[in-house]
Amino acid sequence: MLKALSGGTLGRDFTASIVVFLVAMPLCMGIAVASGVPPEKGLITGIIGGIVVGLLAGSPLQVSGPAAGLAVIVFEIVREQGMSALGPILILAGAIQVVAGLLKVGGWFRAISPAVVHGMLAGIGVLIVVGQFHVLFDDKPLSSGLHNLIAMPGQIFGLSEGDAATAFAVGLVTIFAMLGWEKFRPASMKLVPGALVGVVAATLVAFALGLPVARVAVPESILSAVTLPGDGLVAQLLSPTIITTAIAIAFIASAETLLSAAAVDRMHNGVRTNYNKELSAQGVGNLLCGLAGALPMTGVIVRSSANVQAGAKTRASAIMHGVWILGFVALLPWLLREIPMAALAGILVITGVRLVSVAHVKHLFHLYGPLPAVVWAATLICVVATDLLTGVLVGIGLSMIELLPHARRLRLNVEEEERGEARELALRGTATFLSLPKLSARLESLPAAGLVILNVERLGHIDHTCAEMLREWVDRRRGAGAPVELFGATGRLRQIVA
């Protein structure tokens, strides 16, 4: 930590922490509302994610907090098992993550097909949109994504009701203010987040006109929002339902965190992520969130990218953003109570839409053919029609079809040799997601400077998961000014990484 505060980086980290704080505040509350819990639960998770996970993190610039990707599964937990089940689930999920990090299995989460991950996020995006659409009318989401979808026309036809129409108008003010700011904001104010502008605009309109809309309810003291586990904690931890749900939370949160960390690494040329350390840090954070009765956390790409773009250099920015959330909630709870619920719903509708990345599935189809696109679509549909875990498992199952033609020759040999000032890495055999952790570790262990020759002349096959990792590594290395040459590539592989 002392190193983080030295070397003239504190000023840049301080500025970045303010930006991340402004991005995080509305999202923490909005994701809590989407999860079916009070807004202060999301704020507690943001505080723990900033201060505690920031101190322990293995990813220097990633910011942790409540994630839209887990809102759907938390909503189901609260609806079916009650708020009292959430704490034990997170305690167990956090412990699983800590152990997984200590056992050094963090790299395996990167082996999940990008088609599965983006399909999962797209499905979550759809569920958030159809659920929060009802909150735009000061109504509550229904029990499933399909029910929410079917009920959407009824909300539109019910706009003649005064209060619902007023809430919907406030939500539209938020959406238009957010999108308008992002499109037309001056360059000198590019770090001011659109979500903050949207919430401020809607809050000012509702306050100035005295509109009769539902507003955020937060307690006078953040400490009163902390709910410690009850006497039956041990019995709950041994419940098969709790254990199954905790495993699902740990798996999904870990995958989202480590894929976010990989994306953050692509945004800067500083210290790379220690995936196992990051996984254990997230586990400690989720365990504490369980003890406090808060929401689960992950590394979050929206806050993390804002952190990088704002010029952060060390973990100090993430830690300070958690301190600012704590200070704001402790000193100005009355201000939070003026925010309309429809304003938070408006932000989440835009967040959900942006999770459906059609551009990514087009990219996968263009480079790797129809199978990844089918995996993406199947994962999305199953997440919406059934549940999150089923959708992910279906996607993983379908992605394994790519292994079938090569089932008898799945071995990958990686040989390294010095050639003067250059290093040659020869890949022989079949590169699939099964060999991704090994290959990724070898690539990351190469010296940061100097020419690297990738010899793929005897690489028989590479699946889309491994190819995406290889392409990203080549792009990142070249972006840092270190040359990479490809030897022996033909056809699609040359198109991917040449």
pLDDT digit string (tens) for 362-374?
A: 988 988 889 999 9
- For the cut 80, the answer to whether the pLDDT of residue 248 exceeds it is yes
Q: Which uninterrupted H or E stretch holds 41?
A: helix 39-56
Residue 208: which pLDDT band, with cuts at 50, 70 and 90?
A: very high
Angle (CA) 201 205 210, round 5°: 150
- For the cut 60, the answer to whether the pLDDT of residue 1 exceeds it is no
**CB-based contacts of 421, cutoff 8 Å, min separation 6:** 450, 451
| 100 in Cβ contact with 58 (< 8 Å) | no
10 Å Cβ neighbour count for 493? 20
Whose structure tokens read 């790409």?
301
The tens digit of pLDDT for each residue in 364-422 reads 898 888 999 999 999 999 988 887 778 888 999 998 888 888 877 888 999 988 888 88
Q: How far is CA 103 from CA 99, 191, 255, in A?
A: 6, 39, 16
Residue 460 — φ and ψ, nearest 5°? -75, -40
DSSP 3-state of 341 = helix
Q: Which uninterrupted H or E stretch holds 114?
A: helix 114-135
**CB-based contacts of 235, cutoff 8 Å, min separation 6:** none
Angle (CA) 47 49 52, round 5°: 90
- What residue type is 56 in one-letter code? L
- For the cut 50, the answer to whether the pLDDT of residue 5 exceeds it is no
447-479 burial by CB neighbour count: b if 16+ within 10 A, else e? eeeeebbbbbeebebbbbbbbbbbbbbbebbee
Instruction: Report the percent of the chain where pLDDT is more than 70.
Output: 96
- For the cut 90, the answer to whether the pLDDT of residue 360 exceeds it is no
**SS (HEC) of 250-300:** HHHHHHHHHHHHHHHHCCCCCCCCCHHHHHHHHHHHHHHHHHHCCCCCEEC
Residue 497: which pLDDT band, with cuts at 50, 70 and 90?
A: low
- For the cut 90, the answer to whether the pLDDT of residue 269 exceeds it is no
Rounded Cα distance between 265 and 110, Å, is: 13
Query: What would the two tokens of residue 351 be?
Result: 């967040």
pLDDT value at residue 282: 96
Residue 247: which pLDDT band, with cuts at 50, 70 and 90?
A: very high
DSSP assignment letter at 422: E
| 229 in Cβ contact with 87 (< 8 Å) | yes
The tens digit of pLDDT for each residue in 163-200 reads 888 999 999 999 999 999 999 999 888 888 888 999 99
Residue ranges of domains in the chain, CATH in brackets: 10-342 (no CATH), 357-405 (no CATH), 412-497 (3.30.750.24)
Rounded Cα distance between 299 and 70, Å, is: 11
User: Please, is 277 exposed, middle or buried when counting C-beta atoms within 10 Å of its C-beta (0-12, 13-18, 19+)?
Assistant: middle
Residue 235: which pLDDT band, with cuts at 50, 70 and 90?
A: confident
Rounded Cα distance between 429 and 409, Å, is: 7
Q: Which uninterrupted H or E stretch holds 169?
A: helix 162-184
pLDDT value at residue 280: 96
Residue 4: which pLDDT band, with cuts at 50, 70 and 90?
A: very low
pTM exceeds 0.85: no
